[in-house]
């Protein structure tokens, strides 16, 4: 095929058009991803706190040991409550007290607290959401399905004095805590009684011992860094 000046012009215009189309698609993707963060209202933080209080109260009634952890612990340490981009509260559960009880009874009990409980056996994580009928105090137009709590289950391995993360995908791993998937931490950091940390204007929830110490195990590569606002925010 002979290359002519006209064909070169057409090829250049086509390439330029494709480049503009790709840039436009990437721009639209970024534009659609950002509002999840940028359009969140101050009321959304109150909804996370409201759910955290409901879940904390339910776990206390069931006598399940728990404490604020992971990103929610960072939020408490640095912000004394959920940050503007968060719609999840994270708590760690110690031992399988919840799993040992009748599943139907636990589900019914959580429903009496206007909570829906779901268990991810592979990950060893309970996900809790508010029922649709829940009204937030002072927020009559707010609903709660997009607000959730993650309850991360840890099991004690007394011979090593360490806690290891539960879940079927970790069931066959050795207890020596060498595998980072186990996210082990010293059991003494969860030894009751636990002090409380501020998570909201007037809310205080159990926290692990020694403040930031547990984060050295959950974030071994960057625990010393101030938590940054996600790039999409």
Which is higher by pLDDT, 3 or 116?
116
Q: What is the pTM of this model?
A: 0.79
For the segment 96-137, what is each residue's pLDDT rounded down to a tens digit?
777 777 888 898 999 999 999 999 999 999 999 988 777 766
Q: Which CATH code is given to the segment(s) 37-218?
A: 3.30.460
d(CA 28, CA 34) in angstroms, rounded, equals 10
Q: What is the pLDDT of residue 33?
A: 41
Q: What angle do CA 224, 76, 152 make, to 5 degrees?
A: 85
Closest listed residue to residue 89, CA positions, set 139, 120, 44, 133:
44
- The answer to whether 112 touches 134, Cβ cutoff 8 Å, is no
How do beta strands 148-157 and 88-94 pair?
parallel
- The answer to whether 52 touches 203, Cβ cutoff 8 Å, is yes
For the segment 194-223, what is each residue's pLDDT rounded down to a tens digit?
999 999 988 999 999 998 999 999 999 888
């Amino acid at each position: 095929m002979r290359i002519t000046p006209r064909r070169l012009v057409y090829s250049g215009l086509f390439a330029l058009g494709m480049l503009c189309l790709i840039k436009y698609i990437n721009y639209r993707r970024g534009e659609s991803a950002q509002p999840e963060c940028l359009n969140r209202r101050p009321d959304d933080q109150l909804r996370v706190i409201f759910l955290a209080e409901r879940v904390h109260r339910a776990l206390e009634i069931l006598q399940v040991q728990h404490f604020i952890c992971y990103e929610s612990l960072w939020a408490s340490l640095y912000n004394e409550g959920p940050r503007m981009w968060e719609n999840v509260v994270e708590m760690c559960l110690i031992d399988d007290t919840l799993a040992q009880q009748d599943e139907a009874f636990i589900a019914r009990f959580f429903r009496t607290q206007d909570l829906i409980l779901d268990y991810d056996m592979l990950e060893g994580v309970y996900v809790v959401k508010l029922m649709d009928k829940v009204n937030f105090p002072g927020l009559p137009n707010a609903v709660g399905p997009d607000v959730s709590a993650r309850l991360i289950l840890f099991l004690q391995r007394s011979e090593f004095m360490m806690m290891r993360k539960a879940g079927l995908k970790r069931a066959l791993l050795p207890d020596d805590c060498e595998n980072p998937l186990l996210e082990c931490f010293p059991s003494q950091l969860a030894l009751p009684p636990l002090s409380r940390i501020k998570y909201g204007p007037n809310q205080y929830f159990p926290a692990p011992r020694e403040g930031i110490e547990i984060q050295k195990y959950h974030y071994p590569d960057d625990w010393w860094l101030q938590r940054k606002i996600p790039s999409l925010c």
